[in-house]
Amino acid sequence: MTPKQAAAEHDDFMAHAGKVLDAAVRLKAVMLKRGLTAAKAKCPLCETGHLHGRLVGRKNHMRMWCDECTAQMME
């Protein structure tokens, strides 16, 4: 892999990670506002799946995943 290819792959990964993080932050904010520990919402990344979110522990750490695409995150 050339340095140019590596840089492009890194940029693609960072763009995808940014979108996943944004979706997780928005889902967590809604969950905290409504007092929920589990929620499901339409996935903004793939448009066909659903994001599943869980808040756990005294600090409300989040676990989020999509049932259709590769979007997943653990806080």
Domain ranges of the chain: 3-74
Residue 60 in tokens: 């409300």
Cα 69 from Cα 11, distance rounded (Å): 19
Residue 26 in tokens: 């928005």
Residue whose C-alpha is closest to residue 69's, from 48, 54, 55 = 48
Q: How confident is the model at residue 42 (pLDDT cuts 50, 70, 90)?
A: very high
Residue 69, φ and ψ in degrees, nearest 5: -105, -170
Residue 58, φ and ψ in degrees, nearest 5: -70, -20
pLDDT for position 25:
95
Residue 61 in this model has a pLDDT that exceeds 90: yes
Q: How confident is the model at residue 6 (pLDDT cuts 50, 70, 90)?
A: confident
